[in-house]
């Protein structure tokens, strides 16, 4: 089984908010006799899927909501300050206007800029056009908590030709070392790409459902099994399991991209492997019945094809005439055992052979 390191995302935030400091014209004061002071109203982690990636990763941010009775015309004039227990400070991202239409700016700061379990105080500083601080909010205490998660993860892929590999029609399984925190909600995704490099076209196909093998969202228990399909043969799969709880940063397990190799051809494709027709006598025609008489619907849908090679005493008979379903027995084979080998092939499956014997050739 694959034993892989845990990886966390350190990606740009993509939460439906413009983080570029775009200017939005808004009223310069609120209704009422006395404008309310600059105030931090909420600080909490938020998680949302986003990013051009085979894992559709969680973009985790610490969201800081604020109000101001004398709202600045440019939300970028509000800037986040984090103060650590040792007194050191960090001036981080500026605010932006959320797409929901509210006048109140929002600051989105990557979870990567906080240390899990470390208490900090968060405040917002308003600057004028020259960069001078004109107002500072009261500080708010905040501790980043991450969803409780297992210590590691593995799966049932195997190493083949230097790459982790799964097989068409063979069920794959994900296994955890440890448990998740109670109340965790899970997303399991198995996406595909045409090559080992994930592209924009792959992302589009996975998002619209034509490429993804598995898309299990908002589950109270994680979906841990999946089966590569015939159409996934030769492609790469990107596996992720994400666990999250409200008010906590999400945790994500991912694997290196894994290859989908040909699987074992299912017996369910066949209702037998053909019947012999004719007798092995010189000048007579011997044959195998047509595949359409014994392929099941699944076999037909999978595109199973049959090819033939006639053999004498176990050795292949040369020439194209000995590669057809029907064969006229020549005199030179008198006394030899006549056999036909039928080879069945279908994309995404390893070929299988079935031999049928006609006995010794007689005149």
> Residue 8: how many CB atoms within 10 A of its CB?
17
Are 124 and 165 in the same domain?
A: no
pLDDT tens string 45-57:
998 776 677 877 6
* Buried residues in 327-341 as b, exposed as e (16+ CB within 10 A): bebeeebeebebbbe
Write out the H or E segment, with its range, that includes residue 126: strand 119-127
Distance, in Å, from the CA atom of 181 to the CA atom of 1, rounded to the nearest integer, reads 25
Are 293 and 351 in the same domain?
A: yes
pLDDT level of residue 71 (50, 70, 90 thresholds): confident
What is the predicted pLDDT for the residue at 33?
53
Answer yes or no: are the C-beta atoms of 91 and 80 closer than 8 Å.
yes
What is the predicted pLDDT for the residue at 102?
56
pLDDT tens string 229-268:
999 999 999 999 999 998 899 999 999 999 999 999 999 9
pLDDT tens string 118-133:
999 999 999 998 989 9
Distance, in Å, from the CA atom of 57 to the CA atom of 142, rounded to the nearest integer, reads 24
CATH assignment at residue 85: 2.60.40.10
What is the predicted pLDDT for the residue at 253?
93
Statement: residue 196 has pLDDT above 60: yes
Domain-terminating residue out of 113, 143, 173: 143
Q: In a 3-state reduction of DSSP, which class is residue 255?
A: coil
Are 197 and 219 in the same domain?
A: yes
Q: In a 3-state reduction of DSSP, which class is residue 76?
A: helix
Answer yes or no: are the C-beta atoms of 98 and 13 closer than 8 Å.
no
Are 257 and 277 in the same domain?
A: no
What is the predicted pLDDT for the residue at 55?
75
CATH assignment at residue 200: 2.60.40
Phi-psi region of 56 (alpha: psi -120 to 50; beta: other; left: phi over 0): left
Distance, in Å, from the CA atom of 61 to the CA atom of 218, rounded to the nearest integer, reads 19
Sign of CA dihedral 252, 256, 257, 261: negative
Which structural domain, as residue segments, surrounds residue 240? 152-264
Cα–Cα nearest to 105, from 79, 84, 131? 79
What is the predicted pLDDT for the residue at 29?
39
Distance, in Å, from the CA atom of 198 to the CA atom of 154, rounded to the nearest integer, reads 22
User: For residue 206, what is the DSSP state?
Assistant: H
Statement: residue 110 has pLDDT above 60: yes
Q: How many CA atoms lie within 13 A of 37 on its CB side?
A: 11
pTM higher than 0.75: yes
Are 210 and 285 in the same domain?
A: no
Are 59 and 139 in the same domain?
A: yes
Across the chain, mean pLDDT equals 88
How far is residue 268 from each of residues 164, 169, 295, 302, measured CA to CA in Å? 27, 12, 9, 11
What is the predicted pLDDT for the residue at 25?
28
Are 296 and 260 in the same domain?
A: no
Are 293 and 223 in the same domain?
A: no
Q: Per-residue pLDDT averaged across 4-10, rounded?
A: 36
Answer yes or no: are the C-beta atoms of 83 and 120 closer than 8 Å.
yes
Are 107 and 201 in the same domain?
A: no
The structural domain count of the chain equals 3
Cα–Cα nearest to 334, from 283, 282, 287, 285? 282
Answer yes or no: are the C-beta atoms of 219 and 186 closer than 8 Å.
yes
Domain-terminating residue out of 98, 121, 143: 143
Count the residues in the chain. 363
Are 221 and 287 in the same domain?
A: no
Domain-terminating residue out of 264, 282, 306: 264
Phi-psi region of 51 (alpha: psi -120 to 50; beta: other; left: phi over 0): left
Higher pLDDT, 34 or 31: 34
Statement: residue 13 has pLDDT above 50: no
Are 104 and 186 in the same domain?
A: no
Are 97 and 184 in the same domain?
A: no
């Amino acid at each position: 089984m694959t034993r892989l390191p845990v990886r966390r995302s350190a990606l740009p935030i993509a939460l439906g908010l413009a983080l570029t400091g775009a200017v939005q014209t808004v009223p310069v004061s609120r209704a009422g006799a006395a404008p309310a002071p600059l105030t931090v109203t909420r600080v909490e982690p938020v998680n949302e899927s986003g990013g051009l990636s085979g894992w559709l990763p969680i973009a985790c941010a610490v969201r800081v909501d604020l109000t101001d009775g004398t709202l600045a015309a440019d939300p970028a004039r509000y800037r986040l300050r984090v103060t650590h227990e040792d007194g050191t400070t960090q001036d981080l991202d500026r605010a932006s206007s959320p797409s929901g239409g509210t006048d109140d700016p929002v600051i989105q700061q990557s979870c990567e800029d906080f240390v899990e379990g470390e208490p900090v105080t968060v405040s917002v500083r308003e600057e004028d056009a020259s960069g001078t601080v004109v107002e500072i909010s009261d500080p708010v205490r905040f501790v980043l908590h991450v969803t409780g998660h297992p210590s590691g993860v593995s799966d049932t892929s195997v190493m083949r030709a230097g790459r982790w590999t799964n097989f068409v029609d063979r069920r794959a399984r994900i296994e955890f070392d440890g448990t998740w925190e109670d109340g965790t909600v899970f997303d399991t995704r198995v996406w595909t790409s045409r090559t080992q490099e994930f592209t924009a076209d792959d992302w589009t196909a996975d998002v619209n459902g034509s490429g993804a093998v598995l898309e299990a969202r908002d589950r109270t228990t994680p979906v841990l099994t999946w089966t590569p399909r015939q159409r996934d043969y030769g492609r790469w799969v990107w596996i992720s399991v994400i666990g999250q709880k409200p008010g906590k940063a999400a945790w994500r397990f991912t694997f290196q991209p894994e290859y989908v190799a040909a699987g074992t051809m299912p017996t369910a494709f066949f209702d037998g492997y053909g019947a012999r027709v004719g007798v092995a006598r010189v000048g007579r025609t011997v044959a195998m019945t047509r595949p359409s008489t014994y392929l099941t619907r699944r076999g037909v849908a999978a595109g199973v094809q049959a090819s033939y090679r006639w053999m004498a005493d176990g050795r292949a008979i040369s020439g194209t005439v000995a590669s057809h379903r029907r064969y006229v027995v020549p005199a030179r084979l008198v006394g030899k055992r006549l056999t036909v080998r039928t080879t069945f092939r279908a994309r995404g499956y390893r070929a299988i052979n079935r031999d049928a014997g006609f006995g010794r050739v007689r005149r």
